[in-house]
Amino acid sequence: MSVGFSEKDTALLQRLNQNSWRRTFSPDRDIDWRSSTTPEEYRTLYDAWSLLRGSRHDAALSEEQRIRFARYQQMNLMLVTALFERFALANFESLYGDDDEPAYQEYVAHLIKEETYHYVLFARAIARILESDSELHPLPHRHLKAYLTMAMFLLRWVPFRRLRHSMFFFFMRFTEEVTLQANTMIKRTITRRDCLVLRVWELHALDEARHVAFDDLMLRYARLPGVWAK
């Protein structure tokens, strides 16, 4: 089986590989886990990107509750992203069988390593946020894990490669775009470089920009003919 990469796209894969070596991070080395996000910064995040902002529930919240809600919203986005990337690891591993092109094989290896690091990054960040407020409770995740287990299993068993790739990378592309928007929004909202939440999303975006380029490449080759493209 072969995806059939062109010379131009093979060159793109080689550039992605080079940047995966040069522009990446270590969750242990490149972030100070003693750092935090201040209540004032969470309050700013609430105003900038809260699901409740301007709703009928907003007026009923105290300042402390708005800050706590912003913490929960950050933890929720981190948890969903981390679990998606963790449960998709078997799907990434299955990509090895789709093409023998060395640049493609190498990038799949980078992808698996980077998604594993992202899970560690977000798991540590969530734990640190929980430590910052004794009233916070761990987010429920049993149903999300069950859903992702089933969804990723079914995606691996879609019978045709192009259909399988189009479905899988569509979901990947959507998730990664949301996280890149989170990084952009937080960088516009918070200026303190030592802010934990800012640093977490900033590091994550280093890899995600490459992942989006890879998603777009794979979606282009997975495009179905004629009316099936819809």
pTM (whole model) above 0.95: no
CA distance linking residue 32 with residue 200, whole number of Å: 10
Could you tell me if 75 and 141 are in contact, meaning their C-beta atoms sit under 8 angstroms apart? no
Handedness of CA 180, 181, 182, 186 (dihedral sign): positive
Query: pLDDT digit string (tens) for 4-63?
Result: 899 999 999 999 999 999 999 999 999 999 999 999 999 999 998 888 887 788 888 899
Residue type, 53: R
Which has the closest alpha carbon to 27: 126, 109, 94?
126
**What integer pLDDT is reported at residue 161 of this predicted model?**
87
Residue the block writes with tokens 């242990």: 28
Above pLDDT 90, what percent of the chain?
81
Query: pLDDT digit string (tens) for 156-180?
Result: 999 888 889 989 999 999 999 999 9
Q: Mean pLDDT over residues 125-145, rounded?
A: 94
Q: Mean pLDDT over residues 139-167, rounded?
A: 92
- Give ∠ CA 179-217-183 in degrees, rounded to 5: 15
Could you tell me if 204 and 118 are in contact, meaning their C-beta atoms sit under 8 angstroms apart? yes
CA 77 to chain centre: 9
CA distance linking residue 130 with residue 139, whole number of Å: 10
Write the burial class of residue 189 (CB in 10 Å: 0-12 exposed, 13-18 middle, 19+ buried): middle
Residue the block writes with tokens 């490669």: 161
Q: Which helix (H) or strand (E) holds 44?
A: helix 39-49
Q: Mean pLDDT over residues 89-104, rounded?
A: 94
**What integer pLDDT is reported at residue 205 of this predicted model?**
95
CA distance linking residue 50 with residue 73, whole number of Å: 8
